[in-house]
Each structure stands twice: as C-alpha cells, then as structure tokens.
A and B are shown apart, each in its own frame.
Chain A
Amino acid sequence: MSVSKKVVLLGHFGVGKSSLLRRFVENTFSESYTVTIGVHIMKKEVHLEKESVTLVIWDVEGTDDFTKYRPSYLMGASSFIYVFDASRPVTYSDIKYNLEHLKEKFPHVSVHIIGNKVDLVDSEVILNDLKAQDIQHSYLSSAKTGENVELLFQNVAAQLLENA
C-alpha cells in the first residue's frame, strides 16, 4: 500500500486545471470547456525510484480571488498546484496577492506554480513576461499536447516523499 497525499489544484476560471488532471490521470484531452462546480476528485499512483505515492487530487472550481476558496477544501493538503493560463496575463497578474494568502493560511504547504496552455503562446515571450513580473514558476505545461504534465506531477510526488 503506497502512501496517500492530498494535492489541490487552484487557479482562475478556465486556466485548464481539470484538463491538466484529465491529461495526467486518463491521458485524454477535450477542447470543450466544462466548468467544475464545487470539487472533483481523482487519484493516481505515481511510481518513483524507491517508493510509490498515491496522489488524491482535488480539482476545485476556479476563482479570481483565492480568499474566496472554501477553507475546508484546502485543509489537509500536502501540496498546492497553482495553475495559470500562459495566454491570459490576467490569470497571473495577481499571483503574488494569492500566494500571500496561501502562505498566511497554509504556511507548511508547498506551492507549485504552473503556466498552462503554453501551446498557445511564444514560450520566450511568456518567460520574459514572468521574469519581468518576478514570478517564480515551476513549469510551463500544456494539457493539450501533454508537455510537462507527467513531469509536473512526478515532481510534486517526489517532493512530497522528501518532505514526509
């Protein structure tokens, strides 16, 4: 039996949280947009070199203001994955404000910042923009092409084991 960890996907509406999760768990992608209402939970066992981790991933509905997230959905999380849409600056312009809120309320939970939909933008442009705004992102990914999706969750799982 592998150890189970709760991971929560956070971010604005329509940044591709559910698509990232489906790509990771089911290896599928759909162009049609489905709004997540409340929360949707999926799980996947990630096999690392020595151990396995079962990630129980809570895909919570998107919001522009993280203070409005239901605290009970975030409680008990071992890791947050903060997803923004690389093609919509409005979804990462307030990243510092939202991160401060997370740090204040959940100081011991690690946060991974992911720029999704990188297939829609010029990587160099977005990297320069993030640098200019001093945003330390973990990965640029694409749920559509699968770019960096597996790597992201592998990295999350490895870090959780390290911290365990």
Chain B
Amino acid sequence: MDSKERLEILKEILLTEEREFDKDLVLKIEKLKSRQDNLSDRVTPILDERMDDFVENMPKALGPVITETLKTEIKKSQEAVAEALYPVMGKMIKKYVQAEIKKLNEDINKRLNKTFSFRNWFSGKDNNIDAAALMYEQYKARIEQIMIIEKGSGLLKANYAKRPTLDEDMLAGMLTAIKSFVEDAYNQGEMELERIDYELFTIHLQNFSNYYIAVVITGIYDDDYKDKLEDVLLDFAQFVVNKSDLENPETFTKKLKSYFTDERI
C-alpha cells in the first residue's frame, strides 16, 4: 500500500459524514428548485389571469372614484382653472370669429358687387341687403393710428391717433428696428416689410423714399381695403406732403390729422 492509497482511506474514514451531509444538501436544493418550477407553472397563469381581470375591471372600479376626485378638485380650484383656460380659449375664439367674419365679409362684398351690378339693378331683383350691409359696417376696417416715420433714424415725423397709445416715439423706433431686422435678415435687395399682424390689429406699412407710413387698423383688413388704403396714402404723399414737412413735425402732424380725420377710405 503506497502513501496515496493510505491518504484515500484516511479521507474516507474522516470525511464520510460531511460527504453525506453534502449529498443531502444537494438533494434538498434540487427538490426546492423542482418545487419552485412547479409552483411557478401553477401560479403564473393565475397571476396573469388576475392581472387581465384587473386591467379589464379597473375603469369600472376606479373610474367613478377618479372622476369624482377630479370633479371635486376642479370645483375647489374653479378660479385657477378658469384663469388658465380663459386666455387660451379667448384667443382661439377671437381668431376663429375674425376668420369667420373675414369670410363673411368677402361673401358680402361679392353679393354687394353682384347686387349693385347694372345688370341686376335693371333686372329689378330683390335688393334685400340690409343685414349684410349692417354687418359690413360693423366690422369694416378702421384706422386707429397713422404714423409717418423717417427711414433710417426711425424718428416720428407726424402722428395721428384716435386714442392715446404707448409712447409714439418709442413705438416708431421699435417699428423701425423690427422692420430693419426683418429686411436685413432676408436681405432680398429692394424687398420691404409691408404688414404686421397683431391679433385684431394690422399694421400696414407703406414705404416711400425718405419715410414710411405705418397705419394701425382694426377690423377686416382685406385685399380690397388694402388697395384703397394704398391709393389714399399715395395720394397723400403725392399731393399733400412736401419736402419741408419732414423738418417740421408740428405742421406735418396737423396736415395728417386734417387729411385723415374722416378716414378717407
């Protein structure tokens, strides 16, 4: 018997108990694993089924509770909700109404033109246009302010406003800055900014060589009105304005007021 065999016999004698314990432990672990797998196979379908039931029934079970909670919270903070929604809705409604009125106005214009055409006039058709004419009068474009602004410097040379506005010198300067910025940004040679829309206001900009005229308008500013306004401003520039007016804002303002008091459009 050599030393190796002796060592093996010694191991056998000393470690028999530990080896049996190890075997038992491995067996127990394997049993546990097998049980877990069995359990998992049985439990997973049940859990899935419960989960499906929950998803299906949740709206029925929790819906009324959530709705009630939301209602209560909204009732509690009605003012805050109204405050948050009002400006958004107000603007949407205003824009919608303005767009609709614009369509209506165009329609009225067409009808008016048709009604007053010589063909219809002499044909004796019913000219019942009172309501349409009233609507047209109600929403027609109106001049709120006219400013004559020196190009480059942006200095106000004449101003006529129906109502007091923000400081007109600063307004003229900022308009010029915006105009210059847009024109520089697109740098398309002789192209110039002609119009700025601000909610219910339109700022019509008409350019001349040394100055431009900014007309603030409320109401429906359509192509028809734009054409007329351009003609009136061209007439004003051609027949009323002279070179010295730009040097004398006081008399220029008087001229402007007297020319546009009745709007002339």
- Within 8 Å of chain A (Cβ to Cβ): is B167? yes
- Within 8 Å of chain A (Cβ to Cβ): is B184? yes
B185 to chain A, nearest CB (A): 10
Interface positions of B from 8 to 41, Cβ below 8 Å from A? none
- Within 8 Å of chain B (Cβ to Cβ): is A97? no
What residues on A are CB-neighbors of B173 within 8 Å? Answer: 6, 41, 43, 56, 58
- Within 8 Å of chain B (Cβ to Cβ): is A107? no
- Within 8 Å of chain A (Cβ to Cβ): is B220? no
- Within 8 Å of chain B (Cβ to Cβ): is A42? yes
- Within 8 Å of chain A (Cβ to Cβ): is B169? yes
Question: By the criterion of a CB under 8 Å from any partner CB, how many residues of chain B are at the interface?
Answer: 19
B177 A43 Cβ-Cβ under 8 A: no
Encode B172-193 as 1/0 by CB contact (under 8 A) with A: 0110010011011000000000
What residues on B are CB-neighbors of A38 within 8 Å? Answer: 177, 181
- Within 8 Å of chain A (Cβ to Cβ): is B155? yes
- Within 8 Å of chain A (Cβ to Cβ): is B59? no
Q: A4-B156, A6-B155, A56-B154 are in contact. Are A73 and B180 (CB under 8 A)?
A: yes
What residues on B are CB-neighbors of A5 within 8 Å? Answer: 155
B225 to chain A, nearest CB (A): 29
Which residue on A lies nearest to B172, using beta carbons? A56
Encode B77-100 as 1/0 by CB contact (under 8 A) with A: 000000000000000000000000
What residues on A are CB-neighbors of B127 within 8 Å? Answer: none
A38 to B180 CA separation, bound complex (whole angstroms)? 11
B152 A75 Cβ-Cβ under 8 A: yes
What residues on A are CB-neighbors of B184 within 8 Å? Answer: 70, 72
A75 B177 Cβ-Cβ under 8 A: no
Q: A38-B177, A38-B181, A41-B177 are in contact. Are A76 and B170 (CB under 8 A)?
A: no
A6 B154 Cβ-Cβ under 8 A: yes
- Within 8 Å of chain A (Cβ to Cβ): is B219? no
B180 A70 Cβ-Cβ under 8 A: yes
Which residue on A lies nearest to B251, using beta carbons? A1
A41 to B153 CA separation, bound complex (whole angstroms)? 12
Interface positions of B from 138 to 156, Cβ below 8 Å from A? 150-156
What residues on A are CB-neighbors of B249 within 8 Å? Answer: 1, 4
A78 to B174 CA separation, bound complex (whole angstroms)? 17
A5, A76, A78 pick with most chain B CB within 10 angstroms: A76
- Within 8 Å of chain A (Cβ to Cβ): is B107? no
- Within 8 Å of chain B (Cβ to Cβ): is A39? yes
A39 B177 Cβ-Cβ under 8 A: yes
A77 to B177 CA separation, bound complex (whole angstroms)? 13
A6 B170 Cβ-Cβ under 8 A: no
- Within 8 Å of chain A (Cβ to Cβ): is B250? yes
Which residue on A lies nearest to B157, using beta carbons? A4
A77 to B154 CA separation, bound complex (whole angstroms)? 9
- Within 8 Å of chain B (Cβ to Cβ): is A54? yes
Name 4 extra pairs, CB < 8 A, besides A4-B249, A56-B173. Answer: A43-B169, A43-B170, A73-B180, A76-B154
